[in-house]
Amino acid sequence: MTSRLSAIALNTFREAVRDRVLYNLIIFVFLLVASAPLFSQISIDVERLILVNVGLSAISLFGVIIAIFIGIGLVSKEIEKRTLYTILSRPVRRWEFIAGKYCGLMMTLLVNAALMTVGFMIAVMITSHGLKAQDMHLLVAVYFTVLEFMVVTALTLLFSSFSSPIFSAILSFSLFAIGTFSLDLRNFAASAHGITKMFALAAAYLVPNLASLNVIAQVAHDQPVGGALVLYNTLYTVLYSAAVTAGAVLIFERRNLK
């Protein structure tokens, strides 16, 4: 099981790495981070603020874009090119395929985020002339970004297990946008009444909670992130992504692959 799963994961990773689009994005992010000090020439004193905001937002946004654009093709491309037939005619269970794809894309995103973070931290070091203790908060923000990738990847994989790439992309981006405002949705649900409340509550807990995973503004102002939040965010992300992946397995298990 593990060897098959890791083989699928590694192959997914290898495909992404050999795809030049990925490199272009990384180069773009490096350029962005490198040019941040130039932006800040305009407004003195907020140099670091701008750098942290631009850098962390770029790591998050590019990761999400990569997650969605690779994620939508993970299953459909294998069906379209009939490579899935050569996999499923082997002793590979369908859930292993889904889990392997998930791990492979996460591996890609982790490497991607790690590279971007190294570039970003170097830029921070240059602007602040060394690293401070508060800069650890920046890494917490990056960690939350990786948690965000886990959620987005799981959702994209779920959609790609039953719908076309375009439709999966639309669904994934919509849920990403809604998830950013998930706390507003829960607050709204809490203040609603009757049937509306029931639907609103169901929707509020069904959509991914990405609101608490975004602490970029907070760490940009050197505010610490509570340990409880780190713990519960981790717990939530693992449970939610696993639940979504289980959903993808359920759909894929009985699917007739044309």
Q: Which residues bind another protein (CB under 8 A)?
A: 3-4, 7-8, 11, 14-15, 18-19, 81-95, 181, 183-184, 186-188, 191, 205, 209, 211-212, 217-218, 220-221, 226, 228-229, 232-233, 235-236, 239-240, 242-243, 246-247, 249-250, 253-254, 256-258
- Cα distances (Å, whole numbers) of residue 5 to 11, 16, 65, 172: 10, 17, 25, 25
Separation of alpha carbons 120 and 183, rounded Å: 29
Angle at 57 between CA 51 and CA 58, to 5 degrees: 90
Residue whose C-alpha is closest to residue 213's, from 187, 232, 241, 200: 232
Using the minimum distance from each CB to another protein, give the nearer residue, 91 or 130.
Answer: 91
Using the minimum distance from each CB to another protein, give the nearer residue, 121 or 225.
Answer: 225
- Token pair for 35: 């040019």
Query: How far apart are CB 252 and another protein at their closest, in Å?
Result: 10
Query: How far apart are CB 113 and another protein at their closest, in Å?
Result: 22
- Cα distances (Å, whole numbers) of residue 214 to 79, 139, 227, 234: 35, 12, 15, 13
Using the minimum distance from each CB to another protein, give the nearer residue, 41 or 89.
Answer: 89
Query: How far apart are CB 120 and another protein at their closest, in Å?
Result: 19
Collapsing DSSP states into helix, strand and coil, what is residue 161?
coil
Query: How far apart are CB 181 and another protein at their closest, in Å?
Result: 6
Separation of alpha carbons 27 and 161, rounded Å: 31
Using the minimum distance from each CB to another protein, give the nearer residue, 130 or 191.
Answer: 191
- Token pair for 46: 């907020």
Query: How far apart are CB 33 and another protein at their closest, in Å?
Result: 18
Using the minimum distance from each CB to another protein, give the nearer residue, 156 or 161.
Answer: 161
